[in-house]
Amino acid sequence: MVERKAYVDVNIFVYWLGAHPEHGESSLRWIRKMEAAPRDTYTTSALTLYQLPVIISGLTDRTLKDTDTLASILEALTSLPGLTIEPFRQEDATDALRLAKKYTLDYEDALHLATAQRAEAKTIISNDKDFDKTPLTRTL
């Protein structure tokens, strides 16, 4: 069972929406759990609301001017009942610098870690092994 406030890395949503050949099925299982979970069981950063359309647009050769695609991506994410979107705060950017150095993370991962820690998440759902160096328990 997932502990309260499991943090969901952006790659889970990318694999789900992109039907990734290796990680698509496991990502879909997590999405189903988010659909059935009570509010605040899962969380991600508002940064994900930016990253997801950028990544999906790149994978599908669409532009960020394609508002229909953007709307469907954002609707898919924001309609998950068990998922809370944490706002991105200035302190996250500052904390991420410290965390990037401490855990040898790239800045993007450090931003997600900073948000996860602020949200008091104990678990991160991700295939990114860089999170194994952090205090979060990684699961996929």
How far apart are the C-alpha atoms of 98 and 26, rounded to whole Å? 32
How far apart are the C-alpha atoms of 55 and 14, rounded to whole Å? 7
pTM, two decimals, is 0.91
Q: Is the pLDDT of residue 58 over 60?
A: yes
Number of domains in the chain: 1
Q: Is 30 part of a structural domain of the chain? A: yes
How far apart are the C-alpha atoms of 38 and 84, rounded to whole Å? 10
Q: Is 80 part of a structural domain of the chain? A: yes
Counting Cα atoms < 13 Å in the Cβ hemisphere of 131 gives: 26
pLDDT digits (tens, 9 = 90+) for 68-115: 888 999 999 999 999 999 999 999 999 999 999 999 999 999 999 999
Domain housing 36: 6-87+121-127
E strand map for 46-119: 83-86
Q: Is 101 part of a structural domain of the chain? A: no
User: According to the model, what pLDDT value does residue 4 have?
Assistant: 60
Q: Is 53 part of a structural domain of the chain? A: yes
Q: Is 137 part of a structural domain of the chain? A: no
* Phi/psi-derived region of residue 19, left when phi > 0, alpha when psi is between -120 and 50, beta in every other case: left
Q: Is 57 part of a structural domain of the chain? A: yes
Q: Is 52 part of a structural domain of the chain? A: yes
